[in-house]
Amino acid sequence: MRVFRAIDELESCQRFIEGHMKILKVFGITMITSANINWFEDPNTYVIIVESTENNKVLGGARLHIAGGEYPLPIEAAVSEIDENIHERIKEYQKEGTAELCGLWNSREVAGYGIGSIFLTRTAVAIAPQLNIKTLWALCAPYTVSMAEKSGFEIATFVGNNGTFYYPKDDLLATAVVMYNTETLETADTEERKEILSLRETPRQIKKEEGRRGIHFEINYDLAIKKIV
């Protein structure tokens, strides 16, 4: 599991999006704001990619879009039709550094490992301070809300119907969540906070992990982001 700035590895971005689109099509999702590939050219977008150590095949990933660049955050496009105030909210938090965690996915080969929920969320929160991100937004499917809350996210009740709305299809419910302080992690679950801080303190490490279904495996974390001059 490693991190890079999107514009620095276009070939890796292409492999990321190909895998993501395959999964979206399985669920009949063809229109989704976070799948827009404008981020290939966005210096404010960072990619977390999960690759097999055997053949470098992309097994999953996620993206961090930092507000303040040429493109609005995907959550702005998703929410603006029901709540135009989302733009002002983002602009307000942008002053201290805000971003959106989006595009989380994993391949069927690692289904049940928790890659697309537990480990990518944990990793994104862990690297947020490296990117000067204080507040972090995300859109969750119903089954990932509890995992996001363990990491320190809170339901953004000021969006939609107490934080929920239908997206990206009329039969799919999304929940908007926000973490107000990625550095202190005061809203995170005690054990999850410990895991996040471990990755923060040692961004390069090999760790034995346990997935959602009791599957054991190793992740080689390489989370030290190259400094941009």
Task: Give residue limits of the domains in the chain.
Answer: 2-222
| Tokens describing residue 16 | 């990321």
Tell me which fold the domain 2-222 belongs to. Aminopeptidase (3.40.630)
Confidence at residue 209, expressed as pLDDT on a 0 to 100 scale = 94
Q: Tell me 213's DSSP state.
A: T
Judge contact between 69 and 46, C-beta under 8 A: no
Single pTM value for the model: 0.91
- Model confidence over 14-50: pLDDT tens digits? 999 998 888 777 666 655 555 567 899 999 999 999 9
Rounded mean pLDDT of 130-147? 94
Please, which residues have CB within 8 angstroms of residue 108's CB and are 6 or more apart in sequence? 23
**Would you state the torsion angle of the CA atoms of residues 212, 214, 217, 220, taken in this order, to the nearest 10 degrees?**
30
Q: What DSSP element (H or E) covers 18?
A: helix 10-26
pLDDT at residue 89 is higher than 50: yes
Gap between the Cα atoms of 227 and 205, Å rounded: 19
Classify strands 154-155 and 58-66 as parallel, antiparallel or unpaired.
unpaired
Pick the closest to residue 105 from 210, 213, 26 (CA basis).
26
SS3 content of the chain, % helix, strand, coil (to 5): 35, 25, 35
Confidence at residue 29, expressed as pLDDT on a 0 to 100 scale = 64
Please state the φ and ψ torsions of residue 166, each to the nearest 5 degrees: -85, 125
Pick the closest to residue 46 from 70, 65, 59 (CA basis).
65
